Structure 1
């Protein structure tokens, strides 16, 4: 029976970590394509609640009223919602009020401690280093639909992605596409949406929508 020397085991561990880092880095830099994780709350009841007239008005927060970039986000949403049969209208005649929340914040992307076959490579929320020495960012978008008359929330969906671009405007088209790739998303609550960027228009297009296994 043979035994691996400690230096050899250490070399294998270093190689495994580097492989994991390369794979995770590729997912951030676009080599593996665009993707976003989508989460919905109580989607089973949302399907029934969203039957009927689809008119909405956007409820802005004070910070959004003063934001120069917010109108572009609303325009992106309006285009995608129109594909789902929704029409924007004035507040008093809308069936739903739509709340939009989004943010971009620094995120530390790292690798797990496993022996790292490709399926074991993962992202650690508090890893001790950033891959390739560059900062990573997490972008998130949350849409909440409320019945205007009752004030009851009938549907909530969130989409998030990570990359190395601090500008939320660059991430927003893919997040909007992902959050509305299905409307509404049914059970289970967690999904992975994969996209690709059209070479001619530069617009992200949905390639696949698959549930995430627990």
Structure 2
């Protein structure tokens, strides 16, 4: 399995104290999925030397966004001729059954004092499981595989599932040529 990682603001390092507080949207507070995602993310950030200071001022505000959607979206047109109605692109069937889903995770670090975004990283992967929680461990490992990612902006992170621990391990991190 793999994930493609993109850094909008590549950085050799993040300046300042390695403390953070997660900034949430009201919809994230109400989501059980988000609570599980945050727990896994906090565990990985701790391994990278970050401390969550939820009840105290932190150096960084961390914005977390994630999504799962069908990997291919089609548009139907009402006023079409019979020969060109329906799905226009992609295969008319799924090989091996099931729809393909694109999972994405974006982390944005803002300096609390200035509000300036200092680092943004996103990871995306495709699979046939619509459950966002299934993809999150691999996406979290991917966005933090080389933290922070520096130039170039695009990377491929290959992972392998450690069945004994039930978590993915990073196998390789290589730059992508686009």
Q: Provide the TM-score with structure 1 as the length reference.
A: 0.72
Structure 1 residue ranges without an equivalent (≥5) = 1-33, 110-125
1:209 deviation in Å?
0.3
* Higher strand residue share: 2
Contact 1:135 1:164 in 2 (8 A): yes
The answer for the alignment partner of 2:83 in structure 1 is: none
* Deviation string, structure 1 residues 31-69 (Cα, Å, up to 9, x no partner): xxx1000000121xx335x12310000000111010012
Taking structure 1 as reference, are residues 172 and 131 closer, same or farther at Cα in structure 2, changes over 3 Å only?
Answer: same
Contact 1:55 1:86 in 2 (8 A): yes
For 1:1-214, list aligned pairs within 5 A. Answer: 34-43=1-10, 46-48=11-13, 50-90=14-54, 92-108=56-72, 126-132=89-95, 133-214=97-178
Structure 2 residue ranges without an equivalent (≥5) = 74-88
1:91 deviation in Å?
5.8
- Give the aligned CA root-mean-square deviation in angstroms: 1.6
Taking structure 1 as reference, are residues 184 and 190 closer, same or farther at Cα in structure 2, changes over 3 Å only?
Answer: same
- Quote the Cα distance in structure 1 between the aligned partners of 2:92 and 2:48: 42
- Quote the Cα distance in structure 1 between the aligned partners of 2:93 and 2:154: 26
- Quote the Cα distance in structure 1 between the aligned partners of 2:118 and 2:99: 37
- Quote the Cα distance in structure 2 between the aligned partners of 1:175 and 1:136: 16
Q: How many residues align?
A: 162
Taking structure 1 as reference, are residues 37 and 55 closer, same or farther at Cα in structure 2, changes over 3 Å only?
Answer: same
- Higher RCO structure (Cα 8 Å, ≥6 apart): 2
Taking structure 1 as reference, are residues 139 and 130 closer, same or farther at Cα in structure 2, changes over 3 Å only?
Answer: farther
- Quote the Cα distance in structure 2 between the aligned partners of 1:91 and 1:186: 31
Q: Which runs of 4+ in 1 moved over 3 A?
A: 128-131
SS in 2 for 1:104: strand
Q: Provide the TM-score with structure 2 as the length reference.
A: 0.86
1:187 deviation in Å?
0.7
